Amino acid sequence: MGSFDGKVIIVTGAAWGIGRDTALEFAREGARVVIADVDKAAGKTVESQLQDLGPGGLFVDADVSKAEASRRVVSETVAAFGAVDVLFNNVGIQPAGSYHNVEDTPEETWDRILDINLKSYYLMAKYAIPEIRKRGGGAIINTASVQGLQSQKLVPAYAASKGGILSLTRQMSLDYAAENIRVLAVNPGAIDTKMLRTSAEQAEGNTDELIASWGKGHPLGRIGTGQDIANVVVFLASERASFMTGSYVNVDGGYMAVGAWGSAGSPDSEG
C-alpha cells in the first residue's frame, strides 16, 4: 500500500526530467497520475510507464500557459479519475540561444518564458483549487529554483519567473491555509535534465565532462538527478509534511550554503 493510494496527482512538464521522475514516483506510491506536456511522443511513453507502475496514468497534450489548456487538463483529470488531490506545477523553460541581458532580450522571449514558467502556475492553480477543495484539502507544489534566490548572468526572464514563483507560493499559502490546501516550492540546483544538457551542448568541449565539472561546484560534489527532486516533492505533498506551507526547500547539493554561487558557473535546470 502506497502513501498516495486513492489520490489523484497532476504534474505539468512531465514528459522529461524532473516532471517525469516525479510522476513515476507518485505512481509507485499508489497515485493515479495525469501528466501535461506538449511533447506527445515522450508524454505517451510516460503515460504507459505510469499505467504499468500504478492504478492509472493519463497524458494530456496541453500548453498550460494557455487558460483553455489548463482548464482542459483539470477537466480531463476529473473525467478520468474523479478528483484532484495534488498539483505539481513543474513546467519550465530557458530556451537555447536566449541567454541575454535585459537590453538584448526580445520581448517575445520574455513573454514566452514568463507565460510558461509563471503564468501557467497561476492558471493551473486557478482551475485545480476548486477540485482540491472538494477533497477537503490537498497540496500544490511549485518548481522554483535557486535562481529565485540568487542568479547567474544573462537570464533575466528566467530569474524573474523563478522569483515570482516563490512569491506566488507564499501568497497562495495564506489564501488557502484555512481550507487545508498547502502550497510549497522546491528550489533545484543543477539537475541532470534535457534542459541542462542542451545548455552544456551549447558550450565548447565534451558535454559529460562539462556537466561533471559543474557538479564539482556543489558542496556534495555532483549535480542532482530528477529522482532527487522527486523524493522531496512526494514528501512535501504527503501527510508527513502536513504542518508545512508557504515555504520552500532547496534541493541543490549545498549551492545556497556556499554564498558566492556565481563562482560555481553551472546553471540550474528544471523540466
Residue from 20, 18, 261 nearest 147 by CA: 261
Letter string b/e over residues 209-220, b meaning 16 or more CB atoms within 10 A of that residue's CB: ebbebbbebbee
d(CA 168, CA 118): 9
> Beta-carbon neighbour count of residue 174 at 10 Å?
11
Q: Is the dihedral of CA 67, 121, 161, 11 positive or negative?
A: negative
What is the SS3 assignment for 245? coil
Active site includes 158? Answer: yes
Domain residue limits, the chain? 8-264
Q: Are 183 and 150 in contact (CB under 8 A)?
A: no
What is the identity of the amino acid at 47?
E
- Per-residue tens of pLDDT for the chain, all 271 residues: 589 999 999 999 999 999 999 999 999 999 999 999 999 999 999 999 999 998 999 999 999 999 999 999 999 999 999 999 999 999 999 998 889 999 999 999 999 999 999 999 999 999 999 999 999 999 999 999 999 999 889 999 999 999 999 999 999 999 999 999 999 999 999 999 888 887 777 777 888 888 888 888 899 999 999 999 999 999 999 999 999 999 999 999 999 998 654 554 555 555 4
Q: CATH 3.40.50.300: does it fit domain 8-264?
A: no
* Of 79, 78, 75, 45, nearest in space to 59 by CA: 45
Strands (E), the chain: 8-12, 32-37, 57-61, 86-89, 138-143, 181-188, 248-251
Q: Which of 121, 127, 158, 248 is catalytic?
A: 158
